[in-house]
Amino acid sequence: MITLEVQGMSCQHCVASVTEALRKVPGVTGVSVSLETASATVQGNPDPEALKRAVAAVGFTPGKAE
């Protein structure tokens, strides 16, 4: 499981956009995005850098991935 900071989300539409982008990353088996904590929890075995690129591609700023 990887937790990724996501900066710039302000509404549920933002959450949906980030969720959809992360689900498309190879190796992802599940995604949970939280507006309240400004983070995404990703299940599976994806490349953390690919997750960051996916978040950036939909207009948000990825932070650290743990």
**Residues 32-64: tens digit of each pLDDT:** 999 999 999 999 999 999 999 999 999 999 999
Biggest alpha carbon–alpha carbon distance for the chain:
28
Full domain range(s) for residue 45: 2-65
Query: Which pLDDT score, from 0 to 100, does residue 41 have?
Result: 97
Query: Which pLDDT score, from 0 to 100, does residue 6 have?
Result: 97
Compute the distance between CA of residue 55 and CA of residue 36 in angstroms, rounded to an integer. 17
Query: Which pLDDT score, from 0 to 100, does residue 45 have?
Result: 94
Count how many domains the chain has.
Answer: 1
CATH code where residue 60 lies: 3.30.70.100
Structure tokens at 14: 């933002």
62 close to 6: Cβ distance less than 8 angstroms: yes
Query: Which pLDDT score, from 0 to 100, does residue 43 have?
Result: 97
Structure tokens at 36: 């309240």
Structure tokens at 56: 């950036």
Kindly indicate the confidence band of residue 19, based on its pLDDT and cuts at 50, 70 and 90: very high
The DSSP 8-state label assigned to residue 9 in this structure reads -
Kindly indicate the confidence band of residue 21, based on its pLDDT and cuts at 50, 70 and 90: very high
15 close to 35: Cβ distance less than 8 angstroms: yes
